[in-house]
Structure 1
């Protein structure tokens, strides 16, 4: 199991697809090492790291919604 606990893109590079590219690469790396999955921490307040909605675009599910 792989863990992404922080992904920050500096202001000058935001809205250019950098975070999306980093996530895609992280997913590819995890798959190449036969990882059983990736755990990512998203926040509902967009001021902190990346919002949950960002991860949902990659197919992640909010564990709170699954309960």
Structure 2
């Protein structure tokens, strides 16, 4: 039965057992699939703002109207 070829090889230096363990840990962590992050919950502060569909009007006096209730 032929011997399996190593996944990586140290070509320079003499790494310690701890160095090799750290390298293997990094390689294993980088090859794992990354789960999509959960969507962040919207705070009550953000929900209390204008409705999503409310667009601000551009033009003269728009800055004044932006502070008025809708």
> What TM-score comes out, normalization by structure 1 length?
0.31
Q: Which has the higher strand share?
A: 1
* Greater relative CO (CA pairs within 8 A, separation 6+): 1
- Compare CA radii of gyration and give the structure with the larger one: 2
